[in-house]
Chains A and B, each alone.
Chain A
Amino acid sequence: MSNQKKRNFQIEAFKHRVVVDPKYADKTWQILERAIHQIYNQDASGLSFEELYRNAYNMVLHKFGEKLYTGFIATMTGHLKEKARLIEAAQGGAFLEELNKKWNEHNKALEMIRDILMYMDRTYIESTKKPHVHPMGLSLWRDNVVHSPKIHARLLNTLLDLVYKERTGEVIDRGLVRNVTKMFMDLGESVYQDDFEKPFLEASSEFYKVESQEFIESCDCGDYLKKAEKRLTEEIDRVGHYLDAKSEDKITSVVEREMIANHMQRLVHMENSGLVNMLLNDKYEDLGRMYNLFRRVTNGLATVRDVMTSHLREMGKQLVTDPEKSKDPVEFVQRLLDERDKYDKIISTAFGNDKTFQNASNSSFEYFINLNTRSPEFISLFVDDKLRKGLKGIADVDVEVILDKVMMLFRYLQEKDVFEKYYKQHLAKRLLSGKTVSDDAEKSLIVKLKTECGYQFTSKLEGMFTDMKTSEDTMRGFYGSHPELSEGPSLTVQVLTTGSWPTQPAVPCNLPAEVSVLCEKFRSYYLGTHTGRRLSWQTNMGTADIKAVFGKGQKHELNVSTFQMCVLMLFNNSDRLSYKEIEQATEIPAPELKRCLQSLACVKGKNVIKKEPMSKDIGEDDLFVVNDKFTSKFYKVKIGTVVAQKETEPEKQETRQRVEEDRKPQIEAAIVRIMKSRKILDHNNIIAEVTKQLQPRFLANPTEIKKRIESLIERDFLERDNTDRKLYRYLA
């Protein structure tokens, strides 16, 4: 052993070693303990932080961390118990204030203590995995104060009582409550939830259960909803002011459940103030409120929607099946449009354009419009009325709006082919009588129909317009090549292509001589320029302007139908004529003739001929003379133009039959198309496919489809499978 070593050994060894003496540990702890007392007693100004810190540090360094830790806990617990006693002793309103004050004091003290014990926090506690100083301090507060038996229940009840007071209109100290709820949150979310939030929600639930019962007995629907909305807003406001943000959803769902979900049915169906009443009276504000409140609960909107749908269907059904309303088709359709507008407005104003509601509304309209089989006809008549006179003086933009609305109704129709038939008829009459208000409007509607239904739907209609145009050119050509005809009666001919126009049987009629000569000339001219065509005169669709001079010299120009012209021209040669004579001379069929004579003789103000006897109906033995005493304010008198009227019963039957006939080939074409691509298909699937294909035009009847299949089998387009009677095979 060298001396040098020895020296080093001795000199260095004990220089900075601190004596590890248990008494030292006690002394150090006492210093710290005293400091903690002073801090809690608000008397810390004389303390030196660095000295305390160093003491704590040394304790831990010399392995007395545990003593320090347990000592800290014991001291703090003692103080907290004391504080709890003081809080318990507080009376009435001072209770919360005292709690709050002590809480703040505790927090400040805890912070200071934590700083002093920082070294222990980072080393001893880290390695032993015990709770850190700050969380420990909070748990001690929780266990000794908040959960102390005398304080726990009282605290909760005080808070709930304050909330109740506020709900019943009193003003409370919100800041104080906020501090307390914040304290709960600081102690841990589970503390907040268990010690406050859960009981709070239960109490609120009770409160609203009672209140909603009171309200619903005494208020009508609109008022009730207003109150519910107010309570909801209040609760959200309450959360903002003194509860934790996470409580918002929970409390709002309590209110929604108690005030709305539990009384949903009763509210919606309330007599005289429920949903139906609101809809009828356009109560937009109430409806909007209902929508906003009900959408918060499950099935809320579904309930509203269902009630609206059933009401709409019921109302619509009454509307379309009411015989009174069906008297005037234009009125009928206008009513439909008005209802459509009404519900559109309700859905856009109050229901926020909710798609599900729009769909519900659309399906309801579709349902009841198709309940009346005459809807397609009526809609066409409505359009006819508008295009004849209804659109006069209306700006182009508004015209478009009206036509778009009509298209909306058109879309609801299941039997679109019926509409097409009527529309063609009405259009033909409009064009031929030259009574259309605006060509542009007509064309615009055709375009809309084309967009909706495709080219096929409108090709014939367009053909009609083309014919009109071509006829004008033809007439110019005719008179151009026959200049000598400019004297004498002038003829205007519309040449109609048979396929495009509604089929009418050609009605026989003897034209007056002057007229038939002219007609023949035209026929030869036309056939000269167009070979291979055949012309037949449609005498039931023509009009004539006749100049007449009556007994007292009154001169009038009469605008009459072709039939009427034939009848009147007869009176050039005889003064009196019997029904039979007229019938024989003109060869006009009886029903048309009777109508014609009625309009000439029986209509006040237009009776250019007199009838004997003066009855309304035309009898076989009636006699007719010219009414020499005929007067009229106007020079030009219009007599009984062929106006599109609602069809009579037999006419209606006829049209329907024609529609049914037209459907047969369409069904067959669909079947063949489907079978060609599928080759083999069973019965039910064919029905389904065919129905789907034809749905844009009409609703196919399964029985009819079956008949068509049988017919196709007979004609060797299809065959039945040998083994399975339900399978069909396509025959190439």
Chain B
Amino acid sequence: MATDVSSSGFAKILKQKWHTDLLLKAGDSNGFAAISAHKLVNAARSEVFKKMLESKATKASSDQTLFFSEMRHEELETLVKFMYNDHGLVSSSKLKKHVRSLYLAAQRYEIPHLRDLCRNELISSLSSSNALDELSQVPLDKPLTDAVLSFIARNINTFLDSCEFKMFVARNPNLAVEITKAFLNPVMIPSQSNMSLMMIMMMMMTMTTKIR
């Protein structure tokens, strides 16, 4: 799939560690070697990385080191690989494994391509078992939120019966409202929907009264 020359070129120099000037360490990197990379490539791919590397006041050694204490080494490695070759990552198992943390990192460090990639992956792996969890995670960007909400709305019947749903509604009343909203827009399925809607509303009311 990946046939463009530049990506194979970039991936190559990462592998070869040719003229690297940057070291990246993750939170648990003590047991691992630091990842060698190039300032230029990373700065080009993320505005935040660029600022980090620019910042004159912070440590400016000839081989600058960046710490990412909230990430694990394997996650960081995948991230860096992505910076050099986004195509190669698409169907890899690594992506699936670390999709959650990569998504968060992409949000935090403003790497739009990676974020989109991860989002698509998350959406396609939505199921009745993880949809609610997804929703309650922070942060979510709008497209992902919308996707999850509409997934839940489409499959509302599956959820209505579960205990998790009830607990979820109790803990996140505002999210329940969002689900309701999503449900009401755009397409309405008659009679069945009314019933379901009624049930959600009732449940919400019972839940909130219970809390009080």
Contacts and interface: CB of A to CB of B under 8 A. Distances in A.
A9 B133 CA distance: 7
B98 to A, nearest CB: 12
Contacts of A192: none
A8 B108 contact: no
Contacts of B129: 4-5, 8-9
Contact of B70 (A54, A118, A119): A54
B62 interface: no
B48 A118 contact: yes
A12 B134 CA distance: 9
Contacts, number: 68
Contacts of B101: 16
Interface string B71-110: 0000000000000000000000000000011001000100
B66 A1 contact: no
A53 B68 CA distance: 11
A46 B61 CA distance: 12
B16 interface: no
A218 interface: no
Contacts of B51: 49, 53, 115, 118
Contacts of A57: 108
Nearest to B68: A50
| Interface majority SS (helix, strand, loop, mixed), chain A | helix
A50 B139 CA distance: 19
B57 interface: yes
B52 A44 contact: no
Contacts of B164: 1, 5, 9
B57 A39 contact: yes
Contact of A47 (B58, B69, B70, B162): B58
A723 to B, nearest CB: 87
A54 B70 CA distance: 9
Given A5-B164, A53-B52, A54-B70, A48 B59 contact: yes
A44 B58 CA distance: 6
A531 interface: no
Contacts of A118: 47-48, 51
A644 interface: no
A8 B164 CA distance: 10
A53 B48 contact: yes
A195 to B, nearest CB: 31
Nearest to B132: A9
B138 to A, nearest CB: 6
Interface string A34-65: 00000100001111111101100100011000
A119 B108 CA distance: 8
Contact of B139 (A1, A48, A54, A61): A61
Interface in B148-184: 162-164
B137 A17 contact: yes
A216 interface: no
A263 B129 CA distance: 91
Contacts of B54: 115
B57 A50 contact: no
A48 B64 CA distance: 11
A112 interface: yes
A683 B37 CA distance: 102
B69 to A, nearest CB: 8
Contacts of A47: 57-58
Interface string A49-89: 11101100100011000000000000000000000000000
A13 interface: yes
Nearest to B129: A8
Interface in A2-31: 4-5, 8-9, 12-13, 15-18
Interface of A: 1, 4-5, 8-9, 12-13, 15-18, 39, 44-51, 53-54, 57, 61-62, 112, 115, 118-119
Ranked 7 nearest A-B pairs via Cβ: A44-B57, A49-B55, A115-B51, A49-B58, A49-B52, A8-B129, A12-B133
17 contacts: A1-B162, A5-B129, A5-B162, A12-B130, A16-B101, A16-B104, A16-B137, A45-B57, A46-B59, A48-B58, A49-B51, A50-B67, A61-B138, A62-B138, A115-B51, A115-B55, A118-B47
Given A50-B52, A53-B52, A119-B108, 7 more contacts: A1-B163, A9-B164, A46-B59, A53-B48, A118-B48, A118-B51, A119-B48
